[in-house]
Amino acid sequence: MTSPLLWGQVKSTASKDVPRPKLVVGIVVDQMRYDYFYRYYDKYGNGGLKRFMNEGFMARNNHYHYALTVTAPGHASVFTGSAPAIHGIVGNDWYDPIEKRDVYCVEDSTVTVVGSTSEGAGKMSPRNLLVTTIPDQLKLATNFRNKTIGISIKNRGAILPAGHTADAAYWFDSRTGHFISSTYYMNELPKWVADYNEKKLPSQYAREGWKTLLPIEQYEESTPDDQPWERKISGEKSPVFPHELAGISGNVFGTVSSTPWGNTMVKDMGIEAIKNEQLGKGRFTDFLTLSFSATDAVGHQYGPNSIEAQDVYLRLDRDLEELFKFLDGWVGKDNYTVFLSADHGVMGVPAFWNSKNLPAGVMSESGIVKQVKEALQASFGEGDFIRTATNYQIYLNHEEMGKRGISQDEIHRVIKKVLIQEPSVADVLNLKNLNNEQLTDYQLKLYKNLVNVKRSGDLQIVPRPGWFPGSGMGTTHGSPYNYDTHVPFALFGWGVKKGETLRRTYVADIAPTISALLHILPPNGSIGDPVIEALK
């Protein structure tokens, strides 16, 4: 009991809330290389991507901090500040050596679909993510009195950024043309989502097709239309504008969502979520995550020098301008914070590079597998020494090796000896003995940050710069080289200084920076540092 003598000294404990924005919007643009901000600068409007450059802060030398640059690890790393070695998302898929089965990054057999008859499309949740995200930490800081929603065409792009405590995550079901969810979040779709689905916009977009935003002769930053290395949309005679989408048999909604219309749908769903869930209108900071993945589909199909790639970014710029203009009116221009990054970059099409005398090529996966099997048989006799290979990694059959008295070092030496002769292979690493590999300090860090001891393989094939597995058509990503690692980190709005830095920053620094802005603990697996120059 307080002494009467001290009563006069007791003061009210009431205080104002910690200063924070009303809303944070975290954006991932799938496959966006850093240079796209500047490559198409003259064609962008003033209210979309240029707002980051003209009003906000740009970390212009921002890179991934691990070697396998693909979608799921990228989304996880942006929002956790962690790395695959810790957060456990080591690929879009991986092999589980303990359970001896293939795993999809957000699979969850304990939940069911919400909003669709496509059962498999909804068996998804963030349970394979081993750490917290920025939205999770914000939930903890507000005692779960704020809202978090994640939206993307891809399930992994909606689920992983929003984290474990999200109120909802919505992704696109290409079979029905609807945005769906799972029972991890809810038992039925909110009315506003059902109403959006009832508009049947994907069917409308299919009828409209894909035409260039500007007259095609103005796309001077890109190679001419109809290149021999570009893939065609099903039913097309050639990969040229205008792209007719109506009448496509099979996966029509998947095709539509893989054009700029996919980004438009995510933008529209984001605005509907803000309005109907009243994001930014409450006492506590709400969080919306948006992943724009049509850029990835277009980049894979046509390559980064195509008119299609330029057009998808010009249209994304318009979608972002509409989103930001809406936010200006909804919560006020100075009351929200937006940040943007990418899950990975992309390599140029090898055939295009070769036409310009640049070194690049395509790896023969079947040829590599054949050589490895023949070399192992010649050295150790008949035996099933390899369980599987994925993400440039080889998973060994340790039970068979144990029976035969063969060590991993011996297997590594045999495989490395044969593959090092391949023009597409730079090296073969023993992931259980990385410190003894002949890597630069920079490369060693990338591969150490990649390896999760319970989920990763045993041996790592390192491709040469400019090389990747494929058919010679289109392109891909997934390497430790600058074209894949150099991605944007840009932000503007509440709490953000205007400016830029050219010092090297990492994707792992994004979550600590946003956490510092929000005055919350960074995610529990975070290994980065705040970019302090970006914050007021």
The length of the chain, given as a count of residues: 536
Beta strands, E only, 217-312: 286-292
Spatial CB neighbours of 432, under 8 Å, sequence gap ≥ 6: 408, 458
Where do we find the tokens 């995610």? Answer: 523
The two structure tokens encoding residue 281: 């209108």
**Spatial distance between the Cα atoms of 528 and 77, rounded to a whole number of angstroms:** 10
Alpha helix locations (H) across 97-244?
A: 134-141, 155-162, 191-198, 201-208
Chain centroid, CA 354 distance in Å: 28
Task: Tell me, letter by letter, the H, E, C secondary structure of 359-384.
Answer: CCEEECHHHHHHHHHHHHHHHHCCCC
Tokens found for residue 271: 């605005």
152, 189, 478, 500 from 27: Cα distances, Å = 10, 23, 20, 19
Phi, psi of 403 (to 5 degrees): -65, -35
Six token digits for residue 72: 């799921």
Cross-strand pairs, 459: 394, 430
**415-440: burial string, b at 16+ Cβ within 10 Å, e else:** bbebbeebebbbbbbbbeebeebebe
Please state, in angstroms and as integers, the Cα–Cα distance from residue 62 to each residue in 52, 169, 283, 345, 351, following that order. 15, 28, 34, 11, 28
Q: Is the dihedral of CA 393, 399, 401, 407 positive or negative?
A: positive
- Give backbone dihedrals phi and psi of 42, rounded to 5 degrees, phi first: -65, -20
Q: Is 71 a catalytic residue?
A: yes
Task: Give the active site residue among 69, 71, 475, 513.
Answer: 71
Among 211, 174, 181, 422, which residue's Cα sits nearest to residue 308? 211
Distances (CA, A) of 350 to 67, 331, 344, 382, 505: 20, 46, 18, 37, 29
Coil, helix or strand for 37? helix
Rounded distance, CA 481 to CA 33, Å? 12
Alpha helix stretches (DSSP H) within 277-306: 294-302
Which residues are designated catalytic? 71
